[in-house]
Structure 1
Amino acid sequence: MTSPPDHPEPYPHIPPSYPMPPQQAAPPYPHTAPPYPQTPPPYPQGAPSYPQTPPPPQPPQYPHAAPRYPAAPAALPPTAPPVPAPHPHHIDTDRGRVFLTDKQRQTDATAVGNLLLHVPNFLCSLFVVALVSLFFGDFGIVVVLAWLTSGALVFHRPTERALARHVLRLRYPTPQERAKLEPVWREVTARAGIEGRTYELWVEDSDSLNAVAAAGHIVGVTRFAMNGLPNGELAAVMAHELGHHVGGHAWSSLLGYWYALPGRVAWRVLKVCSGLMFKISRAFGCLGIGVLVMVIGSVAVATVTTFYGLPLLILAVPYALAAVGRRSELRADEHAAALGFAPMLAAVLDKLHQQEQWQQAQLAARNGGRPVEESALARLLSSHPDHYTRLHHLQPYLQPPTP
């Protein structure tokens, strides 16, 4: 056994040649690292010490689609358009519950007087119908009875519509016109306590200010009254026509006119026949005219004496009927004023007066500048009171209420 040497052999200076792995090229770092600042850079004055919030995303810009119009300026906050001041005669038509009166119709004194004044005309018409019935032999009594019962047609709706369309020249309102008329009519009937659906609204294609109440259920207004008046004044016009219906003026006038129609037709036939006879008698000179006068006078005297002078009343009936008609207009004005339409009705009367003055100016222009004066007889036959009379009767409703 050998002992280890006291001094080991020194390691050789050349390392052993072990196989080395291939070395990769080191990245070219700089020889010296960049010096870092000793203190952080100072922040700008007034800058926040926290990160800023990112700005809101902007819409994408398309370079190929150029805007057609220049960019609009920043929109101002919308402002409501100025509301025009309502007309002094504008009324609110938004009404809720409606209370109806027990009496929807009545027959006032003017309606009764109108019927009584038509009695002479009725008797003359009955005489004419009786003469015509003689041509029917045994069926003559049927003709008379049929004429007497025909007065019920005044309240027959199809007959009323035919009367409105062909005699009064009215038409049904369009949907736009109905949307304008019905709220006003609803307000008028609500104030009066009347069932508005009982009546029918019609329109007359006229540029004048007018309205009509006919038969038992017709209320018509002109196109000008519907479009040219504030709704308060239109309500006053409708309330006036409703007063004619409520008071019985409309149906009594139509009933009297209907039963007087045969007598009116016979009177026109007599006028035509007498005119022809007068022309024929002129061919025979004064003698022919004298004979014609004697014949017509004899017939007239015989008729008057046979009916105990009743036919003479026919001469005064038109004047009495005109007076009753004027009274019925004042009653209808009072009805509209009592519903709260007195100021509106007064404004409508002023417009009617201006319309009449314009018509008189037109007549004066045609007459060479000389005004056309209305005769006293024509004023007596007028069915409407004059402007100042109607305003005078409205004064109690136009006065402010006393405390």
Structure 2
Amino acid sequence: MTAPDGDPDSAPLGRHEGRVHISARHRGIDAATAVHLALHIPNALFSLLIVIAVSLLLGQLTALSPWAWTGLWSLSGSLAFWRPAENVIARLFMGMHHPTERELARLTPLWHEVTARAGVDASVYTLWVEESSDINAAATGGHMVSVTTHAVEQLPDGQLAAVLAHELGHHVGGHAWSALLAYWYSLPGRLTWRLLHTVVVRARERSRITAEVIVLALIAGAVFAVVITNGLILLLVAAPFLIRAVGRHAELRADRYASGLGLTTHLTALLSGPLATEGTDIEDARTTGPWAVLARLLASHPDSRARLYALRRHSERQH
């Protein structure tokens, strides 16, 4: 895509000159990833208890021992790094497809430019496209980088490169694989909570139990759980807020990564232009209802103003 002449938001993307030095390491674990994994330990342990309980039942019904079922579940997370499994996840669960020839012609030069600046082997990761009218992108699993069709078709080269660099930052920092593993290993616990919620709602609908009785029973159960666990169960309550806070910090780290690849101008143009309204639904909620603080604490991304401010501060420190 050719940028409109004289448009400051569509500054041309410079090209990497000279040799490309590929780093021996393509991904690691930064502070955001380490804290994110640590915060998911209570959820993972709760899920493990659920899996052991189910495995005991399956052990009675099948030839496999309960520990074999538990072991299979424990090892199942490694499938997140197996490319055939990623292909299934991308196509069936995320609605993605491999880029068409036209999309590939647009994405490949920009992806090679970004990875050359980063010293990363471009072939380590696989590009995907999601059919969507939104400007969005995602880094998933061990190797997937996806962008929406609207981003591919509408963004100038520099801004699209900034999007790709941001997602590469998630991979290099370990945010992508840790998020997928955390989701997978906390899934049994989440499904159990949903099942309990459904049971309580159905019981309420089919009986004369009042809402007050249910609330009192839940409070009594919560107090009992706090006492017998010496307060450790409170980590399950605080964890969602802390996890989202770490997630927002990871977004700012990915922005800094893209900035470090020389894409500050393009990322700034993106955040002040096409993504300028990101997070405005939370801003509206803050002025209209008491749930705004909760919505802000549970937001997965910082709003565009926060990202621009952090990016500007980062650039000032670099100079």
TM-score by length of 2: 0.87
Residues in 2 aligned to 1:209 and 1:174: alpha-carbon distance in whole angstroms: 18
Partner of 1:19: none
Residues in 2 aligned to 1:181 and 1:214: alpha-carbon distance in whole angstroms: 18
Provide Cα deviations, 1:245-268, integer angstroms capped at 9, x if missing partner: 000000111111110000000000
Aligned counterpart for 1:337 among listed residues 215, 235, 259: 259
Give 1:386 shift.
2.1
Partner of 2:237: 315
Aligned counterpart for 2:164 among listed residues 202, 215, 238: 238
Give 1:388 shift.
2.0
The runs of 5 or more residues in structure 2 that have no matched partner are none
Letter in 2 for 1:262: P
Give 1:354 shift.
3.7
Residues in 2 aligned to 1:338 and 1:268: alpha-carbon distance in whole angstroms: 42
Residues in 2 aligned to 1:252 and 1:384: alpha-carbon distance in whole angstroms: 17
Letter in 1 for 2:240: P
Residues in 1 aligned to 2:91 and 2:98: alpha-carbon distance in whole angstroms: 9
Residues in 2 aligned to 1:204 and 1:383: alpha-carbon distance in whole angstroms: 20
Residues in 2 aligned to 1:145 and 1:306: alpha-carbon distance in whole angstroms: 28
Q: 3-state DSSP class of the match of 1:310?
A: coil
User: Is 1:157 the equivalent of 2:79?
Assistant: no
User: Is 1:375 the equivalent of 2:292?
Assistant: yes
Letter in 2 for 1:323: A
Determine if contact 2:99/2:129 at 8 Å carries over to the other structure: yes
Q: 1:329 to 1:400 in 2, by over 3 A?
A: closer
Residues in 1 aligned to 2:104 and 2:76: alpha-carbon distance in whole angstroms: 32
Provide Cα deviations, 1:272-294, integer angstroms capped at 9, x if missing partner: 00001111232xx65x973x556
Q: 1:209 to 1:100 in 2, by over 3 A?
A: same
Partner of 1:42: none
Provide Cα deviations, 1:9-40, integer angstroms capped at 9, x if missing partner: xxxxxxxxxxxxxxxxxxxxxxxxxxxxxxxx
Q: CA RMSD in A?
A: 2.8
Give 1:244 shift.
0.2
Partner of 1:347: 269
Provide Cα deviations, 1:326-383, integer angstroms capped at 9, x if missing partner: 110010000000110001001111124444488799x99xxxxxx7567011001112
The runs of 5 or more residues in structure 1 that have no matched partner are 1-83, 365-370
Residues in 2 aligned to 1:280 and 1:157: alpha-carbon distance in whole angstroms: 47
Residues in 2 aligned to 1:357 and 1:295: alpha-carbon distance in whole angstroms: 37
Residues in 1 aligned to 2:248 and 2:219: alpha-carbon distance in whole angstroms: 35
Residues in 2 aligned to 1:304 and 1:278: alpha-carbon distance in whole angstroms: 25
Aligned counterpart for 1:389 among listed residues 300, 306, 310: 306
Aligned counterpart for 1:182 among listed residues 83, 108, 119: 108
| Higher helix content, 1 or 2 | 2
* Alignment of structure 1 residues 238-387 onto 2, 5 Å: 238-282=164-208, 290=213, 296=218, 299-356=221-278, 375-387=292-304
Aligned counterpart for 2:52 among listed residues 130, 155, 162: 130
Identity %: 43
Give 1:85 shift.
4.1
Provide Cα deviations, 1:290-334, integer angstroms capped at 9, x if missing partner: 3x5565555544444443332221111110001100110010000
Letter in 1 for 2:301: H
